[in-house]
Chains A and B, each alone.
Chain A
Amino acid sequence: MAQREERGREPAPGLVRDLTRYRRRPHGAERTAYVGMAVFLGSWAMLFVALFFAYAFLRARAPSWPPLDAPPLPRLLPGLNTLVIAASSAAVVRATRSQELRRPRGVTAALAAAVVLGAIFLLVQGVVWSGLWRQGLVPAGGPYPSVFYAFTAFHALHVVVGLAALAWLAVRARAGGESLRTDVRLWGWYWHFVGVVWGVLYLTVYLA
């Protein structure tokens, strides 16, 4: 039904803003892709919900959390990392806007910024891992390090996938083209999703 409206009604003349908004309105196939991505992310979110359920379950049953002999998790570096990944998400938003305004150069620049920020995130995460590892926190030391390493590594895997996709998009964006619009948006959603998961992870695993 919504489709009928978008085809049938011409944009009200006069305001340029109305025109841009009209142009931004997604067409049928694009909308289908959005629905699909929303369903997919909702489904994938259940995977993380189950992981956090497992975490809560183990933590509730542990005699002490963190265990007495475990080195304390750093808070500052991951905190900075939270800002880094938020900035990266903001860069993707910027890329989406540039795409709307048809500035391929802007899209490439913003996506490249997002990729660089994401790489910094991984680098910092690597520093955190190696530091803790040297202090004796290894996966085989009970549920506490298990949760820590499994969750952060699984999240990092999602970051790697996102980085690859964004980098590829950045290369393609240099050529410009309208067809990229959906891809930028959808990978943007994915990237925000990964960011939100990190937020929850930071709050529950590092801070709480």
Chain B
Amino acid sequence: MTPAQALMEEAQPIHPAPTSFWRRYVFSIDHKMIAKQFLWAGLLFLLVGGALAMLIRWQWGFPYRPVPLVGRLLFGESGVIGPATYQQIFTTHGLVMIFFAVTPVLIGTFGNLLIPLMIGARDMAFPRLNMYSFWTFLLSQLLVLASFFAPLGSAGAGWTTYTPLSTNVGMPGMGQTLVVAAIFVTGVSSTMGAVNYITTVIRLRAPGMTYMRLPLTIWGLWLTAILNALFVPVLGSAALLLLLDRSFGTEFFVAGASAVRGGGDPILWQHLFWIFGHPEVYIMILPAWGILGDVLSFFARKPHHWYRGTVWAMVLVTVLSAMVYGHHMFMTGMSPLLGEGFMLFTLLISIPSMVVVVNWVLTLWQGSLRYDTPMLFALGTVFVFGVGGLTGLFLGDISMDLYLHDTMFVVGHFHFTMAAASVMGAFTGIYFWFPKMFGRRLGERLGKIHFWFTFLGLTLVFGGQLLAGYAGQERRLFDPFQYTFIQGLRGLNRWTSYFAFALFTGQLFFVVNFFRGVFGRRAAPAGPNPWHVTTLEWTATSSPPPFHNFDRIPEVVRGPHELSNPEVRRLTGRDFAGQAELLPGDGAAAVAARKG
């Protein structure tokens, strides 16, 4: 053991695993268990959000027609979605998906599971804070669920909660208050998580795990945590002021009529919301980028192309993401000069983003690709993210945005990035790290069927939205066909809905696969390293890892993508070498020299 290892061992002693049911599964401070808790909570709400989306699609495909199967149960005798209910459906669909489904899966699950395992730590820096973070998150989920039972129903001001619609003037019900409170509470949870993630990566990297040896997944999660720490509190303060407006009669967002006192300003909400909201877009995609960076390399059996370039590009995107929020507000009458500044920075983001994408493609170039399910999802993510990113250029440009603003084109664009790319990135991660979490692999057959349903489904549904928006269909309308010029789009909307129903049904394959993987006893154990890859969680511990992760804190000797190196093959007969693997003969002198 090297002195550096000894120090880390001393700092992170092995504690006995808890034995009681409550300590083990419920009030757990083990990052792996908390990751699973986030996974269950997130997947459950993904189902809720998806079901809400189906109702929206029904409304757009077949307005004023009773919803089959569940209509009479949910919407009374007629079974038809009413306008007020419809508003609540699309509002909560957005909020549930963003804050309570994708965020917990991408950040809660993978952040918790992977950060300690991939950097060679025994747990998070603050395990107890980690537990509080999950329970706070659960509280926020309960608040959202409670809002559905409030008089006048749940929130209905859109997921962006724009004022004055979201103040008492527009939404007097208790439901909106509960949802705003839920946003605040989930923000507190995210902040706790972010503090933990940032500190863990700074302080608990195993000896030899320099920043430039971190797996790209960790880079993605770490940058995400930084964005979370900086900008979620901004949303928190906006939610706080809105709560004060709703409950204590202050006037931050309600425009007053008095010439003497002046009044609050509804636009203020948009500023605060988007100062948070644009970084949030990257909060939801950076973890997926990181996962992709590693998974593409692993399944192409090649080192990631220009690792440093990808890292710095991701850092640059993180920085720029904080400087572009105004492009959501081109239509609020902001100064044209300011607008052009925001446009410039927005379009600039495409440069580092392209560096990342080109690096992915060059990683695949001449690789020996293995088409396992995680790889399929990763490739699909590259495609849908590409479409999402390219359509973003249209919206970032002011003169185009004036036409496309508030159309379904916007909806299609952000669904390609935040929904398609983030969700498929999350599925990439789930299929890839499932053996590490549960000790068994997910079924390949079901996985591949699930992939094709998901990939084609997402592309067709959101592609349909892009087309509808380009033809002028506005978003959020209860009945888009009240406008004569949209009536020609009935067929398009109906087909988009059919694809959406297929997409939703296709998720059943995942549900079956997932339950079989978790609870089934038929599949053989996956073994410590089923994908034959290099990072610490696969090469330095078992699947699933013991409570203390590593019997001995590993000493890292190389970067995360040591694949297809002829020298490694000569020495080991394998085409990969673990990050902490000391090869026979190789570098023995170097190791000795390092030890002094």
Whether A35 touches B233, Cβ cut-off 8 Å, given contacts A67-B260, A67-B262, A141-B261, is no
Q: How far is the CA of A51 from the CA of B263 in the complex (A)?
A: 17
Is B542's CB within 8 Å of the partner chain A?
no
Is B471's CB within 8 Å of the partner chain A?
no
Is B158's CB within 8 Å of the partner chain A?
no
Smallest beta-carbon distance A53→chain B, Å: 7
Closest chain B residue to A145 by CB distance? B250
Whether A142 touches B203, Cβ cut-off 8 Å, given contacts A50-B234, A50-B238, is no
Whether A146 touches B251, Cβ cut-off 8 Å, given contacts A43-B194, A57-B268, A67-B261, is yes
Give which listed residue, A32, A139, A146, contacts B125 with CB less than 8 A: A32
Quick check: B233 and A43 within 8 Å, CB to CB? yes
Interface residues in A140-181 (C-beta closer than 8 Å to B): 140-147, 149-150, 154
Is B256's CB within 8 Å of the partner chain A?
yes
Is B21's CB within 8 Å of the partner chain A?
no
Quick check: A143 and B263 within 8 Å, CB to CB? yes
Is B458's CB within 8 Å of the partner chain A?
no
Is A44's CB within 8 Å of the partner chain B?
yes
Is B237's CB within 8 Å of the partner chain A?
yes
Q: How far is the CA of A141 from the CA of B249 in the complex (A)?
A: 8
Q: How far is the CA of A68 from the CA of B203 in the complex (A)?
A: 54
On chain B, the number of residues with a Cβ less than 8 Å from chain A's Cβ atoms is 48
Smallest beta-carbon distance A70→chain B, Å: 8
Which of A54, A68, A139 has most B Cβ within 10 Å? A54
Interface of A is mostly: helix
Q: How far is the CA of A104 from the CA of B232 in the complex (A)?
A: 39
* Cβ–Cβ < 8 Å partners of A54 in chain B: 237-238, 241, 252, 268, 272
Q: How far is the CA of A54 from the CA of B235 in the complex (A)?
A: 12
Is A46's CB within 8 Å of the partner chain B?
yes
Smallest beta-carbon distance A120→chain B, Å: 26
* Cβ–Cβ < 8 Å partners of A10 in chain B: none
Whether A61 touches B260, Cβ cut-off 8 Å, given contacts A28-B11, A29-B11, A50-B272, is no
Q: How far is the CA of A105 from the CA of B226 in the complex (A)?
A: 40
Quick check: B7 and A28 within 8 Å, CB to CB? yes
* Cβ–Cβ < 8 Å partners of B1 in chain A: none
Smallest beta-carbon distance B207→chain A, Å: 10
Quick check: B262 and A46 within 8 Å, CB to CB? no
* Cβ–Cβ < 8 Å partners of A69 in chain B: 260-261
Whether A64 touches B4, Cβ cut-off 8 Å, given contacts A42-B229, A46-B233, is no
Q: How far is the CA of A146 from the CA of B265 in the complex (A)?
A: 12
Q: How far is the CA of A145 from the CA of B268 in the complex (A)?
A: 17
Give which listed residue, A40, A64, A143, contacts B252 with CB less than 8 A: A143
Encoded as 1 (CB less than 8 Å from any B CB) or 0, chain A from 187 to 206 comes to 00000000000000000000
Is B271's CB within 8 Å of the partner chain A?
yes
Which of A29, A46, A48, A69 has most B Cβ within 10 Å? A46
Interface residues in B478-497 (C-beta closer than 8 Å to A): none
Chain A residues packing against B (C-beta within 8 Å)? 3-4, 7-8, 28-29, 31-32, 35-36, 39-40, 42-44, 46-51, 53-54, 57-58, 61-65, 67-70, 138-147, 149-150, 154
20 other A-B residue contacts (CB within 8 Å) besides A141-B251, A142-B251: A8-B3, A32-B125, A35-B202, A40-B191, A43-B230, A46-B231, A49-B234, A50-B236, A50-B275, A54-B252, A57-B271, A58-B252, A63-B259, A63-B260, A140-B249, A143-B265, A146-B251, A146-B252, A147-B252, A150-B250
CB<8 Å pairs between A and B, sample of 9: A4-B3, A28-B203, A39-B198, A43-B195, A51-B237, A54-B238, A63-B259, A70-B261, A144-B261
